Amino acid sequence: MSKPLNVGVLGCGFMGRAHSNAYLQVNHFFDREHQPVLKTCYGRQEDREKLEAFAKRWSYESIETDWRKVVERDDIDLIDVCVPNFMHHDCVIAAAEAGKMIICEKPLAMNVAEAEEMVAAVEKAGVANMVSFNYRRVPAIALMKQIIDEGRVGRPFHYRATYNQDYTIGADVPQGGMALWRLDSRVAGSGVTGDLLAHSIDSAEWLNGPIAKVCAYAETFIKQRKHADTGKVEKVDIDDACMFLAVFANGSIGTFESTRYARGRKNYSTMEINGENGAMFFDLENAHMLRYFRYADPDTGKKIEDHLTGWQDILVTNFEHPYMKNWWVPGCVIGYEHTFTNSFADFLAGLEGGESFQPDMKCALRTQRVCEAVLASAKAGQWVEIPA
């Protein structure tokens, strides 16, 4: 018997679309008791035309131009926060107080202080919650986790992550407004650190454990931009690029690089781990592949014969690979949107007595702490420790 799960989505931009698609897809591909119903979506009054078109395209039953009304509605079970970052805090707190389940886009908040209040609110309300670090649900990244947990990498020495894009190179790109709010620090909180490095940090801590300390350098290449809302040329306060060194609690050391000025890179997120017995490399622009280097057998510790060692490309589409039995037949690749469907499938499984969803807000608070430590380190020009 299917159980309707009435959803109110706040936001009708990029993430609103990604989430709407996933709600519509999830029951087609995963056996779950709960069936998301797209009840209502929120957008600003000034974007009403866009909101109406969005609601029609994704078959929402109604629209709201006041997000508080969505949260107050008795017929909504789950609030999904896909609005810009500066609204996350108030939306999440109000939703928790109304006893709703909550899904929130990343980064969780503008800063650690906000994130702590959000975690306290969801914990007090005891509501199911998840933060949309969707890349954990890329099958190849989930396979990386499985291979690490199987002990095939052994003692890790190095972790290396990049997350590079190039869409803000032009000096004429405005800050603010519907598409470019990520460049406005009052709306986004930070630049690449909260937007891109947060993904890399979430994946890194999931795969390689907690980061103990960081030393960062951040740069803002274009110091002033026209604001899309006011038309005025204003100071740019976000980090355009940020790089940091990390020491993990397990003793391994890492490098993280992120920029929106890497000409030619669109959504280039890579991660590599090098351990005593093996190594792995993943590249989001080639998301169905995992590169694996096997040096020694994890059970016997015996080195693989020299003429057989080498990097192996695993096409992550077999039924035995994470999530893949729910999709097509081996060899048929899946893509970006599936990471959201896979996430929602896991969230629903958690509601139905399965493992409770990770990352939840408490886990995302840790990522927020690392991001804040990175920004503090860049500002101070020194190492910053992150409490365990």
Shortest distance, position 307 Cβ to ligand SOE, whole Å = 41
Shortest distance, position 354 Cβ to ligand SOE, whole Å = 25
Question: Taking CB positions, which residue lies at the least distance from ligand SOE?
Answer: 195
Tell me if 64 contacts ligand SOE by CB under 6 A.
no
Q: Which of residues 164-193 bind ligand SOE (CB under 6 A)?
A: 165
Tell me if 326 contacts ligand SOE by CB under 6 A.
no
Alpha-carbon distance values, 359 to 130, 241, 315, 350 (Å): 6, 25, 26, 12
Tell me if 270 contacts ligand SOE by CB under 6 A.
no
- Cα–Cα distance measured from residue 202 to residue 383, given in angstroms and rounded to the nearest whole number: 20
Tell me if 195 contacts ligand SOE by CB under 6 A.
yes
Give counts: helices (H), strands (E), the chain: 12, 17
Tell me if 202 contacts ligand SOE by CB under 6 A.
no
Contact 272, 262 (CB under 8 A): no
Instruction: Kindly write out the interface string for residues 123-162 of this chain, putting x where it contacts ligand SOE by CB under 6 A and - elsewhere.
Output: ----------------------------------------
Tell me if 114 contacts ligand SOE by CB under 6 A.
no
- Measured from the CB atom, is 77 or 195 closer to ligand SOE? 195
CB-based burial label for 168 (10 Å; 0-12, 13-18, 19+) = buried
Shortest distance, position 270 Cβ to ligand SOE, whole Å = 14
Number of residues that bind ligand SOE (CB under 6 A): 3
- Cα–Cα distance measured from residue 91 to residue 80, given in angstroms and rounded to the nearest whole number: 9
Give the three-class secondary structure for 101.
strand
- Measured from the CB atom, is 158 or 186 closer to ligand SOE? 186
- Measured from the CB atom, is 165 or 341 closer to ligand SOE? 165
Instruction: Give the single-character DSSP code of 45.
Output: G
- Measured from the CB atom, is 58 or 135 closer to ligand SOE? 135
Dihedrals φ, ψ of 65, to 5°?
A: -110, 10
- Cα–Cα distance measured from residue 166 to residue 13, given in angstroms and rounded to the nearest whole number: 20
- Measured from the CB atom, is 335 or 353 closer to ligand SOE? 335
- Measured from the CB atom, is 52 or 337 closer to ligand SOE? 337
- Measured from the CB atom, is 267 or 270 closer to ligand SOE? 267
Tell me if 21 contacts ligand SOE by CB under 6 A.
no
Among 21, 35, 220, 267, binds ligand SOE (CB under 6 A): 267
Query: 310 CB contacts (<8 Å, ≥6 apart)?
Result: 293
To the nearest 10 degrees (0 to 180), the angle between helices 112-125 and 361-380 is 170
Contact 44, 64 (CB under 8 A): no
- Cα–Cα distance measured from residue 313 to residue 316, given in angstroms and rounded to the nearest whole number: 9
- Measured from the CB atom, is 267 or 286 closer to ligand SOE? 267
State the residues that interact with ligand SOE by CB under 6 A. 165, 195, 267
